[in-house]
């Protein structure tokens, strides 16, 4: 089954051409040799990127290969200015970045609902012959053509906006945790790579607060080099304020797995290591108090750690408390 989550599209954009100016002269029975009265042409339509909080994927643009704004109309007689070409809006979810497909230069970044950024300006309308008349040049018989619009292939790339990003190996229990703490319904099964697309869930805290948690498809060693699902979804972690590392209690070496995950993030983008981090040991319903006490001695010492079980609902309230506290520090 094809996923409805699309976070990457490539589109050809063309802004409108400006309308040409008019080289018209006023004529009437009483004034058969009137002066120039040609109006200016209208500008071409812009290509505008607009944020829409109702969208969470670029699916609506998947089969859109060309986006063309309208051309401006030519100027008319009697100093009539041509109509401007209609602007073309590209509605995108918050967190979308637009890049030039050829140079990879970032053109725009949408982070707020209703935010509008002009990607490509429409061509300016040409001046009519009335503009060029003067005391010494009273009958200009020419007008200015309209400017051409801009065109280019662009890449639209979505980076999910979430407060907390779940980081872990496949089958670490990330989707199960998200389903327990939020109303999200991610696909859950007991085999690796069940999650093939990111999932977002709204976590309600103490009945009056909330924050957004993102379940990112599992990382494996070598992901930064393209193994597994590669770095396709690592970019979604870039916008998370807090990273929640999830490692199952039955892992052979928790500290080693944590270091591998950290290294993959570092290989992709070293700035990710500057984000706040919390470590949660999942699937702890199989542990007794003595085993947990022994495991604590072997855990990394440089970050807060919790033992949780999504199935048994143990440690979930404490995890929410810690997440909320960490998100709202300073």
Band (pLDDT 50/70/90 cuts) for residue 45 is: very high
Structure confidence at residue 22 (pLDDT): 95
**Residue found by looking up tokens 């984000």 in the block:** 275
The pLDDT assigned to 192 comes to 45
Whether residue 113 is predicted with pLDDT greater than 90 in this model: the reply is yes
72 CB-near residues (< 8 Å, 6+ apart)? 16, 17, 18, 19, 41, 42, 43, 44, 45, 82, 83, 84, 85, 122, 123, 125, 146
Q: Looking at residue 115, what is its pLDDT?
A: 96
Residue 270 has pLDDT above 70, yes or no: yes
Is the pLDDT higher at 306 or at 161? 306
* pLDDT: which is higher, 225 or 108: 108
Domain boundaries, the chain: 1-158, 164-327
> In the structure, what pLDDT confidence band is assigned to residue 330 with cuts at 50, 70 and 90?
low
Do the beta carbons of residue 174 and residue 218 sit within 8 Å? Answer: yes
Q: Report whether pLDDT(4) > 70.
A: no
pLDDT band at 154 (very low <50, low <70, confident <90, very high): very high
The mean pLDDT of 318-324, rounded to a whole number, is 92
Would you state the pLDDT for residue 221?
61
Classified by CATH at the fold level, domain 164-327 comes out as: Rossmann fold (3.40.50)
Mean pLDDT value across residues 72-99: 95
Q: Which of 126, 27, 121 is nearest to 75 (CA)?
A: 126
Mean pLDDT across the stretch 35-53?
95
Give percent of the chain above pLDDT 90.
Answer: 44
Mean of the per-residue pLDDT values of the chain: 86
pLDDT at 320 over 70: yes
Q: What is the mean pLDDT of residues 35-42?
A: 94
To the nearest whole percent, how much of the chain has pLDDT over 70? 89
pLDDT at 189: 42
pLDDT at 190: 46
Say what the pLDDT of residue 80 is: 95
pLDDT band for position 313 (50/70/90)?
confident
pTM of this structure:
0.72
Residue 193 Rama label (left phi>0; alpha psi -120 to 50; beta): left
CATH number, domain 1-158: 2.70.210.12
CB atoms within 10 A of CB 233: 22
Sign of CA dihedral 47, 51, 54, 57: positive
pLDDT at 225 over 60: no
Helix axes 174-181, 316-327, angle to 10 degrees: 90
Q: For residue 267, which of 217, 225, 303, 211 has the smallest C-alpha distance? A: 225
Q: At 226, is the pLDDT very low, low, confident or very high (cuts 50, 70, 90)? A: low
Q: What is the structure's pLDDT at 227?
A: 53
DSSP calls for 140-154: ----PPPPP--EEEE
């Amino acid at each position: 089954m094809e996923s409805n989550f699309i976070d990457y599209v490539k589109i050809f954009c063309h802004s409108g051409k400006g309308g040409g100016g008019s080289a018209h002269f006023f004529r009437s029975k009483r004034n058969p040799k009137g002066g120039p009265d040609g109006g200016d042409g209208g500008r071409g339509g812009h290509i505008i990127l607009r944020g829409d909080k109702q969208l969470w994927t670029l699916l609506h643009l998947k089969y859109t290969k060309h986006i063309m704004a309208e051309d401006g109309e030519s100027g008319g007689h009697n100093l009539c200015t041509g109509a401007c070409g209609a602007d073309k809006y590209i509605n995108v979810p918050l967190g979308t970045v637009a890049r030039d497909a050829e140079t990879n230069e970032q053109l725009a970044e949408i982070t707020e609902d209703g935010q509008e950024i002009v990607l490509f300006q429409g061509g300016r309308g040409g001046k009519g012959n009335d503009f060029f008349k003067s005391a010494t040049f009273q009958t200009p018989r020419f007008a200015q053509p309209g400017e051409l619009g801009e065109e280019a292939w662009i890449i639209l790339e979505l980076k999910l906006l979430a407060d907390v990003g779940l980081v872990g190996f496949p089958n670490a229990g990330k989707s199960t945790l998200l389903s327990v703490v939020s109303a999200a319904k991610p696909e859950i099964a007991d085999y690796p790579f069940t999650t093939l697309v990111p999932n977002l869930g709204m976590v309600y805290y103490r009945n009056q607060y909330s924050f957004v948690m993102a379940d990112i498809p599992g990382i494996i060693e070598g992901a930064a080099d393209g193994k597994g699902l590669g770095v396709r979804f690592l970019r979604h972690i870039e916008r998370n304020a807090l990273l929640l590392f999830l490692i199952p209690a039955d892992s052979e070496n928790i500290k080693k797995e944590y270091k591998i995950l950290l290294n993959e993030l570092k290989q992709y983008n070293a700035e990710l290591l500057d984000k706040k981090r919390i470590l949660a040991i999942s699937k702890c319903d199989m542990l007794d108090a003595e085993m947990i006490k022994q495991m604590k001695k072997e855990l990394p010492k440089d970050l807060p750690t919790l033992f949780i079980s999504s199935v048994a609902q143990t440690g979930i309230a404490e995890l929410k408390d810690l997440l909320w506290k960490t998100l709202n520090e300073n």
